Amino acid sequence: NQHQTQGMGLAPAQGDFFYYFYLLKDHLNLSDEETGLFDGLDYKLTGLLNRLDNSSNEMRNQLGKAVNLVEEALEIFRPDMPHRISSLLLNALDCLLEVCHSLKNKNKSREKAILDYLTNKISDFNKVIASCLGLKIESLANHYKVTPGQEFIITNKLWNHSGVKIDKIAFSIKAHSDWSMHNLSQESWDSVEGTLYSTDYRVKVSETTSFSVPYWLSEPRQSFIYSWPSNGSCCLPFGDHDITASCDIIINGTSLTLFCPTINRDSFSGGYRELPVTTIPPISLKPKKGEEYLPINEKIIYLDIIVSVHNNTKDNISGQLTLELPNGWSGKPERIDINLIGESATQSGKFSIEIPANVQESNYSIPCKFRHKSREYCESIDYVRMGNPGIPGLPNASNCIKECIIISPSNVNIDLIKAKFVTDLKYGYVRGIKEDITQSMLHFNVDFSILSDEDIGYIDLYQFDSIVIGPNAYLLREEMSKHSSRFLNYVKNGGTLLVLFQGYGYQGKNYTPYPFKYNQPHDRVTNETAKVSILDLDNVLLKFPNQIGIGDFSNWSYDRGMYFWGEWDKHYQPILSSADIGEEQLNGGWLTCQYGRGNFTYLGYSLFKQIPAGVSGAFRLFANLLGLPSARLNERVSFLKQTPLFSEVSHEQLEPIAKLMSEKWSNEGEEIGRQGDEGTECYMIYRGSVDIIKNKNGEETIIATVGKGECIGEMAILGNSRRVATMRAREDTQLLVIKKDHFRAFLYESPKMAVHMMDIILSRVGP
C-alpha cells in the first residue's frame, strides 16, 4: 500500500501482499461462485451496451468490429513501424463515430453516459492515430500572460513527420466569445503531402474579459464546499484553457480532430518551458496584511492599512486606489493617486482607519479597489510554481516550468474580538507545526516569547507565568523530548503548562504529570458544528477572565479537534464533551490538573485553526487558558478566605501563601500523617474528608472527621512537637499542602494571623 498521507507509512517486506474484498451487492446475479473482480463482466467496448435494454444489433456489430480491429492492430504493431496499424485504427474510429451518431438523440441517462464515454474514447483514438502517423499539432503565442485590451499573435502548426498524404487540413481557434480574432494567412489546405503547415492569427483580448482562475475558485465556496461547475471542467485539475487550437484532418475519408492548448514556449538558463496563455488583470493589489485581529474596547480603534499596486503590463498605468469601508468607519485619505511607470512597477498606498468604539463583534471585509480607465479592479494574484528538476533554488517567474495563477479578491479581513487577556503575565511559546496563533495576538498586548531549541534546554523557565506547547511540538522538536522533564519540574514548582494537541508519539513517554492513553484510531470530532457540552460549569477556566459558554463554540472552522485522550488518570478533570453525529460522547478533548504547585492542561480542541480563522470564542478560550495562573491564584485565595483559619486575612496577604501551596491527592484509606511522626507540613482539605485518629495502646479511635476548608496537621509545624494524631483519608481527598518553613514565614509577616492562629489552637486544646 503506497498510501502515505497524514504521516502514514509502511515498512516494505519481501513476499506477497494481499488485499481482501467482500462482495456487498451483485448486479449480475451470477450463479457460479466468483473468483475475481471481473467475473461476468464484458470489460471490452462491447460490454457498454449490456446496460442498455434496447440496444440495436447495428451498434453491437459496430462496437464488435472496432474491438476486432484494435486486437488485430495490437498483433501486428511494431514500434519502429507504427504507421502499419493506422488504417486499422482509422476503420475502428469510423465504427465508434457511427455508434456515437446513433446515440446522439437519446435522452436516457444510460445512453448519455455511454455517449460521454465513447466521446472520450474517440479523443484517445485521435491521439493514438496521430502518433502512429507522425502528426503533431502545436499552437504558439508570443505572450503567455495577457491582459484586457491586449493584442498578441498565435501561430498554429501541424507537423506531418511521416509525410502521409492528407486529404484536407483546417485550423481553428476556440477562445472567449468576446475576444476578436483575425486570420493573417491561409488556414486550410486540400490534398497536401508536405511536412509542415502553419497559419497565424492576431487575437485581441476583450476589455471586459474574465480572468483565468481554476474553476473551483470561480465562485466563493460555501464553508468548505466548492460549487460544482455546469460545464465540462469538473474533475479536471484546473479547468479548460483560455485558448485552444484544433486541426480537422481527413485521411482516406476518415476525419481526425487534434486539439492542443495555446502555449508560450521560451528558454531559460538550464532548460525551457511551455506555459499556457493566461488572462490576468492589468494590475494586482496586495495588502501588507490580509488579516487583522483587533480587540473591541470603549475607545476608537486606529489601524493603518498599506496596499501595494503592481503593474502586470508593459504599458504605463495610472489610476486611483481606494478602500470600501463599512458604515460608520472613516479613513484618510479617501483615495490615493497611483502612477506605475513600466512593466512590474509597484507603488504602495497607506490609509489610516478609525473604527468606532464599541463596534459590534464580527468579521469585516474591506475590499481594496483600483480604478483604471473605465474598469475597477480588486484582484490579488498568487503564484504556484514548479521548478525544473536539477535547477538550484526556488522556482521564480523566470525559470519555472509550470505555473498556476490564483486570482482572489484583494480584501483586508478585520476580525473584531471581544476578549479579555491577562496582560500582566509573561508567556513562553514552543512552536510545533506551522501555525499563526502568536501572530494573531499582536494587538492584544500579550507578551509572548518564542522559545528556540537552545531555549528549550537552557532558558530559565520560571520567568514565564505560563508556557504553551504548540501542536505536535513534542514530536517535531527533538529538544522537547530531551528536556521534557524540565517542563514537568516547572509545573511542579508553580508554573502553568498548556499543551495543544500532540500525536501518538506523545503517549507513554512521561511527558505528562499523570498517565493517559490514546484510543486507536485516536478520538476526534470532525464536524465543526458538532454539539459541545460543558461538564464542569464551576471550573475556573470557564470563568476568568472571560465567561465561557456554549456560544463560544459557534462558527468554528475545519473541525472541533483531534487526538483527544481515550483514557486518563483520575487526577485529570475533563471540562468539555463533544461527538460527531451518531458517535459516543468524547470527554478527552480538554483535561486539566494541578501538579505540585502548578497547573497542567491538555487541549485537543483545534485552537490553532480557530484563532487564525478569527473565531471570537477561540480567542476568549485561549485567553482563559493563558490566564490560568491568575485564575487559580484567585480561586485558592477565595477558598482560603472561606476557611476558619484564614478568614481574617486580607486578599493581598493571602496571595504569597497561595502561590506557595502545592497539591496532594490521597486515596481512600491512605494515611496523610501518622501519630508520633515529625510534622513538616500542614494541609488544607480542598475536596473530600479526613478522619483524625488517636492511637492508644494499639487501639484506634476516630476522634473527629473534618472536611472541605479545614486545616489539619498545623499543630506539629507550629512547634517542634510530633504529630498528636493520625490523619487518614476517609475518601479520595485533594489537599493543599503548606510547608513548615513557608507557614512560619507567613505568620512572621502577618502578626494578626499569628494571633488568630493562637486563638484557634487554644480553642482546640482547651477544656
Condensed to tens digits (0 to 9), the pLDDT of residues 555-601 reads 999 999 999 999 999 999 999 999 999 999 999 999 999 998 899 99
Residue of 392, 448, 435, 450 lying closest to 618 (CA atoms): 435
pLDDT at 1 over 60: no
Average pLDDT over residues 11-35: 80
pLDDT at 233 over 60: yes
Condensed to tens digits (0 to 9), the pLDDT of residues 629-663 reads 999 999 999 999 888 888 878 888 888 888 888 88
Average pLDDT over residues 271-299: 94
Res 338: pLDDT: 97
Contacts of residue 592, Cβ cutoff 8 Å, sequence gap at least 6: 539, 541, 572, 573, 575, 599, 600, 601, 602, 628
Condensed to tens digits (0 to 9), the pLDDT of residues 496-506 reads 999 999 999 99
Q: Identify the band that residue 761 occupies on the pLDDT scale cut at 50, 70 and 90.
A: low
Alpha-carbon distance of 423 to 605, in angstroms, equals 24
List Cβ<8 Å contacts ≥24 apart for 49-55: 49/114, 51/110, 51/114, 52/110, 52/111, 52/114
Q: Identify the band that residue 224 occupies on the pLDDT scale cut at 50, 70 and 90.
A: confident
3-class DSSP state for residue 359?
coil
Res 4: pLDDT: 63
Average pLDDT over residues 676-685: 90
Percent of the chain with pLDDT over 90: 68
- Residue 502: Cβ within 10 Å count: 25
CATH fold group of domain 135-221+236-279: Immunoglobulin-like (2.60.40)
Q: Identify the band that residue 19 occupies on the pLDDT scale cut at 50, 70 and 90.
A: confident
- Provide the CATH number for the domain formed by 283-416 in this structure: 2.60.40.2310
Backbone angles phi, psi at 265, to 5 degrees: -115, 125
Lowest mean pLDDT among 311-320, 484-493, 749-758: 749-758
Q: Identify the band that residue 358 occupies on the pLDDT scale cut at 50, 70 and 90.
A: confident
Q: 648, 756 in Cβ contact below 8 A?
A: yes
pTM above 0.85, yes or no: no
Q: Identify the band that residue 6 occupies on the pLDDT scale cut at 50, 70 and 90.
A: low
Q: 84, 62 in Cβ contact below 8 A?
A: no
Res 40: pLDDT: 82
Residue 401 grid coordinates:
516550468
Can you say whether the dihedral through the CA atoms of 717, 723, 724, 726 is positive or negative?
Answer: positive
Alpha-carbon distance of 531 to 551, in angstroms, equals 11
Q: Identify the band that residue 56 occupies on the pLDDT scale cut at 50, 70 and 90.
A: confident
Q: 656-765 architecture in CATH?
A: Sandwich (2.60)
Average pLDDT over residues 132-138: 95
Preceding amide of 521 cis, omega within 30:
yes
Res 507: pLDDT: 97
Strand-by-strand arrangement of the 598-603 sheet: 447-450, 426-430, 466-469, 496-500, 598-603, 590-595, 573-574
pLDDT at 191 over 90: no
Condensed to tens digits (0 to 9), the pLDDT of residues 701-710 reads 999 999 999 9
Q: 476, 502 in Cβ contact below 8 A?
A: no
Condensed to tens digits (0 to 9), the pLDDT of residues 63-115 reads 999 999 999 999 999 999 999 999 999 999 999 999 998 888 777 788 888 89
pLDDT at 767 over 60: no
Res 66: pLDDT: 95
Res 644: pLDDT: 82
Q: Identify the band that residue 238 occupies on the pLDDT scale cut at 50, 70 and 90.
A: confident
End-to-end CA distance of the chain: 82
The residue behind cell 486540400 is 190
3-class DSSP state for residue 137?
strand
AA letter at 170: A
Average pLDDT over residues 664-681: 91
CATH class for the domain made up of 419-634: alpha beta
Q: Identify the band that residue 8 occupies on the pLDDT scale cut at 50, 70 and 90.
A: low
Bridge partners for 362 per DSSP: 416
Do the first three CATH levels of 135-221+236-279 and 656-765 match, i.e. the same topology?
Answer: no
Average pLDDT of the chain, as a whole number: 91
CA–centroid distance for 321 within its chain: 33
Q: What is the DSSP string of 655-701?
A: HHHHHH-EEEEE-TT-EEE-TTSBP-EEEEEEES-EEEEEEETTEEE
Identity of the highest mean pLDDT range in 160-174, 235-249, 334-348: 334-348
- The domain locations on the chain are 43-133, 135-221+236-279, 283-416, 419-634, 656-765
Q: Are strands 400-409 and 379-387 parallel, antiparallel or unpaired?
A: antiparallel
